[in-house]
Structure 1
Amino acid sequence: MLALSAMSLGGCISVNAPEKPIVIELNINITQEVIYRLAEDAGNTIKENSDIF
């Protein structure tokens, strides 16, 4: 009898959903890569057309 009551008390699990939705914010900074590519392209253009610059 004691084992049965201990087993029934040990198996109580309560799972509740949160009241507010879970929010995941992803701030991705891609400006550095874009600026790097533009700088590389500008450097190549200056090298190819050095007489213009």
Structure 2
Amino acid sequence: MKIMMLALLPAALLTGCTPRIEVAAPEEPITINMNVKIEHEIHIKVDKDVEALLKNRSDLF
């Protein structure tokens, strides 16, 4: 009986040392803030000939 207990003792001690990994969902939901303000300005430089053409032919665009 003592031999059997001595054989099981190391096995019992080693099972207590096994690592445990736990995956759990968070308690509160994940929120992503997407409040983004985008501003831009476009500056176009044109030659005087092109500017005159655009003024005379407004049907181009």
Report the TM-score, using the length of structure 2 for normalisation.
0.36
Compare the two structures and name the one with the higher helix fraction: 1
Q: What's the TM-score once normalised by structure 1's chain length?
A: 0.39
Structure with more relative contact order (C-alpha pairs < 8 Å, separation 6 or more): 1
